Amino acid sequence: MSGSDTSSSLERLGWSDFFAAQVEPGEAHLAPRRVASVHRARLEAIDANGPVGLELAANANTADFAVGDWVLADPLTDMLVRRLERKTLLQRHSEIRNGLQLAAANVDTLFIATSCNADFNPARLERYLIMAHQAGTRPVIVLTKADTAADADDYRRRAEALQRDLPVVVLNARSADAIETLKPWLGAGQTVALVGSSGVGKSTLVNTLAGSASETAQKTGTIREHDAQGRHTTTARSLHAIAGGGWVIDTPGIRTLYVSDVTDGIDTLFGDISELSEQCRFRDCTHVHEPGCAVQAAVASGQLDADRLGRWRTLIEESRSRTPVETGPRGNKVVRRKKY
């Protein structure tokens, strides 16, 4: 295969100049591969031709890798040489590894799914939006079950009010029309991931996007293996091809994610409040009781929704209190204090 053929097929996998620029001259003989699933003791990968082996060094820890990662491997031995720097990284909280677990890497767009019914919850959507900003991915609100709602446009308006210039789409996850609606984010080489509560239609949407061919692939990708305790565990490949050339990452690990220490994401989401607070008289204004508070003035004039300010405050406080927790010498929790 000629060099240019290789790179164009790699681009269909999400490879870009960002990754190519990281390959050192001495690494030209190595093969870029993308991590398709992460298991306790091994990784699965794909390259332009499909599934491909990936051998790990004895001291490697699979928890250091995320679905979507790009790695360089020796094409003769399949040995993983190194991981390339990530463009974006979604992490989730866990009890182990200092409370953070890698969920998905190099995701361009995060589809935040909720349905046009009682699942719709601005506070929860704000958390997902913060997570997207924090990870460096572009969020899109995907309102499912439009076919069952009396007034789907009302949900659309409420979602659009969450953040300036926020893309919001309304669809029926079971209809092939959803592919057309989501097309702007599903181009060749684009990677999307889905988050949202149980039952909002994430699996349905993945199946619609991936089509029946890949549904079979998902089933056949399911494998049984022994974990460290010798138990059988069932795992599935997590990176699925979408008609049109994009990729969707669907792993249980990223379906629900939590917020902590996410000040930058909060500032992006609540850009209106951040801007207003620059006009407050006091630089450290808490927008509760201070004179000359531009944020309170905006609430009083009806320019800013008081509920929105309340949700902002809850998130700021939660972000502050959930700064990384370390375990002390006797197993007691030690809280590392961080700014904000």
Ligand X SMILES: Nc1nc2c(ncn2[C@@H]2O[C@H](COP(=O)(O)OP(=O)(O)OP(=O)(O)O)[C@@H](O)[C@H]2O)c(=O)[nH]1
Distance CA 236, CA 243 (A): 20
Build a one-symbol-per-residue string for 264-303: x at contacts with Zn ion by CB under 5 A, - elsewhere.
----------------x----x-x-----x-x--------
Contact 240, 217 (CB under 8 A): yes
From the list 193, 244, 245, 248, the residue with the least C-alpha distance to 218 is 248
Residue 199 interacts, among Zn ion, ligand X, none and using kind-specific CB cut-offs from 5 to 8 Å, with ligand X
**Nearest approach, Cβ of residue 98 and ligand X (Å):** 27
Considering only residues 155 to 174 of the shown chain, the ones binding ligand X according to CB under 6 A are 172-174
Identify the helix (H) or strand (E) that includes residue 273: helix 271-277
Whether the Cβ atoms of residue 133 and residue 265 lie closer than 8 Å to each other = yes
- Ligand-binding annotation for 198, yes or no, is yes
Which residue in 330, 176, 321 sits closest to 262, CA to CA? Answer: 321
Among the residue ranges 3-11, 139-147, 272-280, 322-330, the one whose residues contact ligand X (CB under 6 A)? 139-147
Binding-site partner at residue 280 among Zn ion, ligand X, none, CB < 5 to 8 Å by type: Zn ion
Which runs of E-coded beta strand occur in the chain? 31-38, 43-47, 50-52, 70-73, 80-83, 89-93, 100-105, 109-115, 138-144, 168-170, 191-195, 223-226, 232-235, 239-241, 247-249, 325-327, 333-335
CB 287 within 8 A of CB 281: no
Please say which residue, 144 or 268, places its beta carbon nearer to ligand X: 144
Query: Is residue 183 a known part of a binding site?
Result: no
Under rule CB under 6 A, residue 145 binds ligand X: yes
Amino acid at 109: T
The distance of closest approach from Cβ of residue 277 to Zn ion in the complex, given in angstroms and rounded to an integer, is: 5
How far is it, in rounded angstroms, from Cα 85 to Cα 71?
Answer: 9
Q: Which does 287 bind (CB under 5 to 8 A by kind): Zn ion, ligand X, none?
A: Zn ion
Least distance from ligand X to the Cβ atom of residue 47, Å: 29
Compare residues 159 and 285 and give the one whose CB is closer to Zn ion: 285
Which residues, numbered 177-236, are part of the site for ligand X (CB under 6 A)?
A: 196, 198-204
Residue nearest to ligand X (CB): 201
Choose among Zn ion, ligand X, none what residue 204 binds, the Cβ cut-off being 5 to 8 Å by kind.
Answer: ligand X
Work out the number of other CB atoms within 10 angstroms of the CB of residue 187: 12
Closer of 116 and 309 to ligand X (Cβ): 116
**Phi, then psi, of 52 in degrees rounded to 5:** -145, 150
Q: List binding-site positions for Zn(2+).
A: 280, 285, 287, 293
User: Residues in the site for Zn ion, rule: CB under 5 A?
Assistant: 280, 285, 287, 293, 295
User: Residues in the site for ligand X, rule: CB under 6 A?
Assistant: 144-145, 147-148, 172-174, 196, 198-204, 255
Q: List binding-site positions.
A: 144-147, 196-204, 280, 285, 287, 293
Q: List binding-site positions for GTP.
A: 144-147, 196-204
